[in-house]
Amino acid sequence: MLTRLLLASSLAVAALPAAATTQDDIVRADVLPGWRDGGRHFAALRLQLAPEWKTYWRSPGEVGIPPEFDWSGSENLGSVRLHWPAPHVFTLNGMRTIGYRGVVVLPFEIEPLDPARPIRLQARVDLGVCRDICVPAALEFAADLPAEGTRDAAIAAALDSRPESGREAGLGRISCRVEPISDGLRLTAELDLPATGSDEVVVVESGSPSIWASEAVASRSGARLTAVSDMVGPGGAPFALDRAALTVTVLGDRRAVEIRGCPAP
């Protein structure tokens, strides 16, 4: 993350004109306060990006900057779960990144420490925004969430745009074969999955932020989709792979599918 931020900062300094565009000209954020559903509260962060600018998904590709959230200033916040809408795949100069453009609604689901007390958000997100250059942005946001609230159409639409589960997409089988390489592991995922569209992109996530995963090389033969990704732990040291924590996401031009867990063949 630090390397990516330093790279983005150096690109920004080199490429921005003397009258530099400000962060507010590129991206703005506000909170959609949402509604309470039983013991959970659904709210969202809305990002409004300037035309032609983009920001990144949780797994942004080789040169992207993943968003990082800090919720520590909030009150009565037990846990937060982000629900990511299906992202888009961008290709520029042979490099592939994954993210969003325009208006982006990122829903989050909150478990309060005490359901009887109000929730106060005081948070920050660090993210990268890119056009011809990349600029690291830091956005602070705050809101008092209503005890009940009303269902918000923008949040509901973002929740509906999440990738399908394997079951919803008609997944027949998934397995992951693992073999050692010089500095880590090579994972080969095989999925019996109906096509999601042309130019399918497969993203493999280890479930651990300390384990780097390469851009997957995907190929399809009929209903069988195969993706190969190399994984490297801190310092190239051996590591144990938690198969239950693996996430395999397939992004096609018609739909997206997200599969949690990948057993051995």
Q: Residues 35-59: pLDDT tens digits?
A: 999 889 999 999 999 999 999 999 9
**pLDDT at 13 (0 to 100):** 35
Assigned architecture for domain 2-160: Sandwich (2.60)
Q: Matching CATH topology for 2-160 and 164-260? A: yes
Task: Kindly tell me the sign of the dihedral angle through the C-alpha atoms of 210, 265, 98, 153.
Answer: negative
- Residue 133: pLDDT band (50, 70, 90) is confident
Q: Are 234 and 188 in contact (CB under 8 A)?
A: no
* Residue from 90, 57, 65 nearest 4 by CA: 65
Query: With 60 as the cut, is the pLDDT of residue 16 above it?
Result: no
CATH assignment of 164-260, among 2.60.40, 2.40.50, 1.20.140, 2.30.42: 2.60.40
Per DSSP, the three-state class of 255 is coil
> Across the chain, what does the average pLDDT equal?
91
Structure tokens at 27: 């991206």
**pLDDT at 4 (0 to 100):** 38
Query: How is residue 235 annotated by DSSP?
Result: G
Could you give the CA distance from residue 230 to residue 206 in angstroms, rounded to a whole number?
Answer: 10
The pTM assigned to this predicted structure is 0.88
Q: Are 136 and 5 in contact (CB under 8 A)?
A: yes
Q: Residues 78-98: pLDDT tens digits?
A: 999 999 999 999 987 888 999
Domains in the chain: boundaries: 2-160, 164-260
